[in-house]
Structure 1
Amino acid sequence: MENKTQSIDYKAMSLNDLVQSLTTLIEGKPIQEIKEQASIIRSSFYYQYNEQLEAAKSLFIQDGGNEIDFEYSQPIQTEFKSLWKSYVEKKNNFYRKLSMELEDNLVKREDIIASIKTLVDQGEVSKTYQEFQQLMSDWKGIGAVTSDKYQETWGNYHLYVEQYYDLLHINSDLRAIDFKYNLEAKQKIITHAKSLLSHTDPQHAFNELQMLHKVWKEETGPVAKEFREIIWEEFSTLSNEINSRRALMLEELKAEEENNLAQKLIKINEITSFDFSKNKSFGDWKKSIESFDILKKEFLSIGKVPKNKNKMIWDTFKEATRAFNTAKNQYFKEVKASQSKAVLAKKALIEEAKVWKDSEHFDEATEVYKRIQSSWKKIGFVPRKQADQLWKEFRGICDAYFERLNTVKKDGTLEEQENFKNKETFLLKIENEEINVDNYKEFLKDWLDLGSVPSQKNKIDQDILNAITHKMVFLEENIDRDFIEYQLKMSYLFAIDSKKLGTEYNHLRTDIDRFTKDLKQLENNLGFFSNSKKSNPLLERAMASIELEKNKLQLAKKKMKYLKSLQ
């Protein structure tokens, strides 16, 4: 069985419900009766609040915050602190007032004892009986005294009351009336005690019984001798039955608390054995935290344990959670450090992007932006709030640069625009000049020295190439026209985009390697003709092939040399 206090599971309540419960207790019950419940409510409130605080701190650190900057305050805590303060003040006021009342009651009781003693000393009971009755009535109306004075005052009071009644035997009528009155009062107490046997709450019945014993002792006088033992035996038997019911309830509660203790120890063992050793990622820890919180809630949902085991069980519980909490905090501390490092890395890339944002060296700047954009993707996790802010700034800088780059590619730089004008002039000059194998290189050099033009206007270079080709005059028959045409083609590629020469360079490098290898193989094959006549057709064919490969190799090297001269 459980009484109302024990049936309320404050640990399972929300913070708001705990505040409301304490408010209801303070406003609806005597302040001296709610100490145990108030203490449980307070410990339950701060356990939950501190759990929320730790969770908020972990999230703050996870989002990149510095632990020393963490602040946490909830209106519900302020409300609870104010409510608890009012409870403490009300409790202190009650006990301060109670202390004064106990002292005042002691003085009043001692005065009555002294007055009854005086009546006994006078010995004239017939004249003082009314006064004696009033003193007894006044005694009943006086409240409690301090526990250290209770037995002394009660003993002295009954000593002199008995002495007065001993004197009162000379007036049997008065004594009989008094005994009858006292018997009726004690019979009412017994009737009340009988009703307690059927009460559903043994603890309530026990508490009521204590009040009946107090009334029996302090507020009812003696009865006739023939009833004294009988009536006390009846009341005593009832008291034993009520006490037995309470003892049985306490045994059941004790058994339940022992069972709760065993269940909590089992749950603590599960918490201690909780495996988080394989946690590597935030997702791993998130799952572990959720599972670990379930274990803690299951522990908290188990009922009360024996009072002398309460501190031990809480200390063991805290110790069981320490390893997990320490590892969890260490992980988030490392995550925070990693996130801080990632934030710094992204800020460094932003600063580098700012440096190149207005650069006129577009080729170099574009390579830089490609590199830092690639590096940005490889940087570790950054909390969303900071990540969004940093990305917005970084993207803004990159977008601004590439918008400017696109504009430049379309319209060209001022230098490229000037180069275009100069190439137009150069094109007109070509049309009025004679170009031949003796001077064409000068025209090519002048053309390439003019630099690049806007990409949208590079048709001018095609026009220059066509003009030079059209104007070219070959005065001798043995001139290497293919090589000259090659020079013209490469000059054009260099004029529109020098990077295009890279492909041609690689192609020539491959040709040179192949021609060199083929020539070496052909020369090695001459060994087969060491004893042959010079007129051998196969030998002549082999010599012709060697000569052809030599010419190919020579031309390829010649082209390579020209390419290098352009760079």
Structure 2
Amino acid sequence: MSDNNKAQEVEKVDNINNQNSSEENSQIENPASAENEANQKPDYTTSEKSAEHSSTTEEHDAVLNEIEESNAEDAEDEGNKDRHKIEVKDYDSMSLEALAIELERLLKTEKVQAIRSHVHSINNEFKLKFQALIDEKKEDFINDGGNEIDFYYSSPVQKRYKTAYKDYRTKLNEHYQSLEKNLKQNLTDKLAIIEELKGLINLEENINTTYKHFKELQERWRNTGPIPRDKYNNAWNSYHHHVERFYDFLHLNRDLRDLDFKHNLEKKLLIIERAEELTKDDNVMYAFRELQELHKMWKEELGPVGKEHREEIWDRFKAATKIINDKRHLYYQEIDKVYEKNLEKKLDIISQIEAISAQKTNTHGAWQKKIKQIEALREAFFNAGKVPSKVNEATWAKFKESVRTFNRNKNAFYKDLKKEQYKNLQLKLDLIKIAEDNKDSEDFETVTPLMKKIQSDWKKIGHVPRKDSDKIWKQFKTACNYYFDRIHAKRNAASQEQLDAYNKKNQFLTELKTLDLPDDKEVGVSLIKDKIKEWQTIGRVPNDKRYIDGKFQKIIDSLLNNLKVEKTEAEIIKYENKLDALNASDDSRNLDNERTFIRKKIDEVKGQINQLENNLQFFTNVDDDNPLVKDVKNNIKKHRSELAVWKAKLQKIKDLY
């Protein structure tokens, strides 16, 4: 058949409604035709008995139209029926990576023509979320000083998704290129069947032979594969019209017609019973999909029934359809309630983001805390579930704007922070110059305080840009370490004498531990004083070895204790040792500082004694045996003893002047 002829065949289906109306008018004079014409419509509609039923009829027609549209889609590609069995996931709450993985899974496990709506939803979500990510990255790029025209961003998840989506488009195109040839051929075959049906009425042959031919045509129609969706309803209406005309023709042979009516009635009653069973099924969506199949069987596979049954069985089928559809509407209403709650959650999250954005924040730590809060809220937004479709775009836009506002504020802060960091960088570079200029100085007395000061100043200066931080710190530390290593090298050269002193003092302690004290107390005290003077003559030890002086004091305390020397006298003996060391020092300020310290301690102890004595005045009517009174008196006694020691120490200092 030529392309022109094919086009003409397709046109026939598009124009069939006009032909139908003229043919119906030509048959109305025939009583059999009139009877059939009057009774054909209850297969899908009933006459309106009153105006009050109009809304119900419109509602019912709407659901029938929905069923027919879905069946027409399935009729175009029979593999498309599987779309009803594929789970529709909450793509709104999925991450970019999860969406890519789900698309890959669908391509791997399902027929490509059955996942169109799923891929459409996934694609919309991915584009929205990835665009939001790009907007955020672009804003960061511009705020970092970049030019918008130079901005480019890609990610592994985007490449992964693009690969999967391209694979989907390729497979879908291949499928429909293959399917298109079959659809056109099937349409041609079905149009040919309609033409044969039209010719049955004019055949001059035995009615049984004609009826057998009619049944063969019905079987061929059912076995012919899918046709284009946009031709489905016209083709079926034309076919149905000519089937009914044939039944009008069969009016002359009631036995054959009644037999067919009976068969159709039995099958339609089974369909009704199944529909009534489905009204009790709790799986609402499954029940509705089954109902679609039942309507398809009713419409496509079965012919009319006797006039006396038509309205009754259609009313039963329609009643079951209404129950199932009402349950579906309730189901959607419940989903709508969930979507409304999800909307409330999302709007609340947006409000929280806006509130966080409005807070004044002036520190890096506080901003980092807010960034974590926003990330958690973003995650909560994506996990909150779907919202009503009518507000989906507006909600998404409001969410994006709230996050964008936060990012603008954040970027403005860090832009100012970078300015501050560059100022800090210059300050630290100035300190590096000082360190490097003085690292080779021999004037240790002048430069050492300076080097310590710039180290202290370095710590007080704030952060610098991260890319410079390690580099300048290493430069500064190298210069400072170089200087102090030189000092330590000189000190180490002079410290051998101190190490020798330390070794001698260690040996001295060993001997002192085994010192035999005489029985005479005064001789023993004199011996201990000699040992103290001998200890002082050994010399200084390294700073990290000065703990050895504490060991010496403990041994002296033990020896004085063995001689039963009073505590005050023992303290003075040990203090004389300290004064000798201070007096031998080259710095006279050490002795002055000690005198100032002693006087301060005397004043403190006097103050404590006065306070305790004042406290005693509160116990004028209390016995001396009272525990509180005893405690206060003991403290006064203890402090007076300490005062005597401090005064004795002060006198020793005065004796040196």
Quote the Cα distance in structure 2 between the aligned partners of 1:370 and 1:244.
85
**Higher RCO (C-alpha 8 Å, min separation 6):** 2
CA contact (8 A) 1:189 1:216 kept: yes
Aligned to 1:232: 314
Q: For residue 387 of structure 2, give the secondary structure of its aligned residue in structure 1.
A: coil
Percent sequence identity over aligned pairs: 39
CA contact (8 A) 2:264 2:302 kept: yes
Aligned to 1:258: 340
Q: Structure 2 stretches of 5 or more lacking a match?
A: 1-83, 495-585, 590-657
Q: For residue 202 of structure 2, give the secondary structure of its aligned residue in structure 1.
A: helix
Pairing 1:117–2:198 present: yes
CA contact (8 A) 1:102 1:143 kept: yes
TM-score normalised by L of structure 2: 0.53
Aligned to 2:164: 83
Aligned to 2:38: none
Aligned to 1:154: 236
Quote the Cα distance in structure 2 between the aligned partners of 1:96 and 1:340.
63
Aligned to 1:195: 277
- Output one character per residue of 1:54-82: Cα deviation in whole Å (capped at 9) or x when no partner: 999999999xx876899876544433332
Whichever residue aligns with residue 282 of structure 2, its letter is: T
Aligned to 1:281: 363
Aligned to 2:289: 207
Quote the Cα distance in structure 2 between the aligned partners of 1:316 and 1:59.
20
TM-score normalised by L of structure 1: 0.61
Q: For residue 268 of structure 1, give the secondary structure of its aligned residue in structure 2.
A: helix
Aligned to 1:131: 213
Aligned to 1:218: 300
Quote the Cα distance in structure 2 between the aligned partners of 1:275 and 1:144.
57
Quote the Cα distance in structure 1 between the aligned partners of 2:255 and 2:230.
38
Structure 1 pair 280–123 and aligned structure 2 pair: CA distance change class (3 A)? farther
Quote the Cα distance in structure 1 between the aligned partners of 2:476 and 2:85.
63
Quote the Cα distance in structure 2 between the aligned partners of 1:390 and 1:71.
32
Quote the Cα distance in structure 2 between the aligned partners of 1:58 and 1:30.
41
Q: For residue 482 of structure 2, give the secondary structure of its aligned residue in structure 1.
A: helix
CA contact (8 A) 2:92 2:386 kept: no
Quote the Cα distance in structure 2 between the aligned partners of 1:400 and 1:353.
10
CA contact (8 A) 2:284 2:327 kept: yes
CA contact (8 A) 2:90 2:386 kept: no
Once the 2 structures are TM-superposed, how far is the Cα of residue 337 of structure 1 from its aligned partner? 3.6
Once the 2 structures are TM-superposed, how far is the Cα of residue 241 of structure 1 from its aligned partner? 1.3
Aligned to 1:321: 403
Quote the Cα distance in structure 1 between the aligned partners of 2:365 and 2:475.
29
- Output one character per residue of 1:416-460: Cα deviation in whole Å (capped at 9) or x when no partner: xxxxxxxxxxxxxxxxxxxxxxxxxxxxxxxxxxxxxxxxxxxxx
Q: For residue 464 of structure 2, give the secondary structure of its aligned residue in structure 1.
A: coil
Aligned to 2:485: 403
Once the 2 structures are TM-superposed, how far is the Cα of residue 358 of structure 1 from its aligned partner? 6.0
Structure 1 pair 234–335 and aligned structure 2 pair: CA distance change class (3 A)? same
Q: For residue 122 of structure 1, give the secondary structure of its aligned residue in structure 2.
A: coil
Structure 1 pair 88–342 and aligned structure 2 pair: CA distance change class (3 A)? farther
Aligned to 1:174: 256
* Aligned positions of 1:5-404 closer than 5 A: 8-13=89-94, 16-42=97-123, 75-124=156-205, 125-274=207-356, 276-343=358-425, 345-347=427-429, 349-350=431-432, 353-354=435-436, 372-382=454-464, 386-404=468-486
Quote the Cα distance in structure 2 between the aligned partners of 1:130 and 1:286.
83
- Output one character per residue of 1:397-416: Cα deviation in whole Å (capped at 9) or x when no partner: 3323443566578999xxxx
Structure 1 pair 400–274 and aligned structure 2 pair: CA distance change class (3 A)? closer
Whichever residue aligns with residue 167 of structure 2, its letter is: S
Whichever residue aligns with residue 309 of structure 1, its letter is: V
CA contact (8 A) 1:182 1:221 kept: yes
Q: For residue 356 of structure 2, give the secondary structure of its aligned residue in structure 1.
A: coil
Quote the Cα distance in structure 1 between the aligned partners of 2:405 and 2:104.
37
RMSD over equivalenced CA pairs, Å: 4.2
Larger Cα-atom Rg: 1
CA contact (8 A) 1:276 1:288 kept: no
Q: For residue 201 of structure 2, give the secondary structure of its aligned residue in structure 1.
A: helix
Whichever residue aligns with residue 317 of structure 1, its letter is: F
Quote the Cα distance in structure 2 between the aligned partners of 1:146 and 1:345.
77
Q: For residue 274 of structure 1, give the secondary structure of its aligned residue in structure 2.
A: helix
- Output one character per residue of 1:495-553: Cα deviation in whole Å (capped at 9) or x when no partner: xxxxx9xx9xxxxxxxxxxxxxxxxxxxxxxxxxxxxxxxxxxxxxxxxxxxxxxxxxx
Quote the Cα distance in structure 2 between the aligned partners of 1:340 and 1:57.
24
CA contact (8 A) 1:258 1:306 kept: yes
Once the two structures are overlaid, the 10-residue window that deviates more, 244-253 or 69-78, is 69-78
Structure 1 pair 162–61 and aligned structure 2 pair: CA distance change class (3 A)? closer
Quote the Cα distance in structure 2 between the aligned partners of 1:210 and 1:384.
65
CA contact (8 A) 1:126 1:171 kept: no
Quote the Cα distance in structure 2 between the aligned partners of 1:47 and 1:33.
24
Quote the Cα distance in structure 1 between the aligned partners of 2:107 and 2:469.
50
Once the 2 structures are TM-superposed, how far is the Cα of residue 267 of structure 1 from its aligned partner? 3.5
Structure 1 pair 155–12 and aligned structure 2 pair: CA distance change class (3 A)? closer
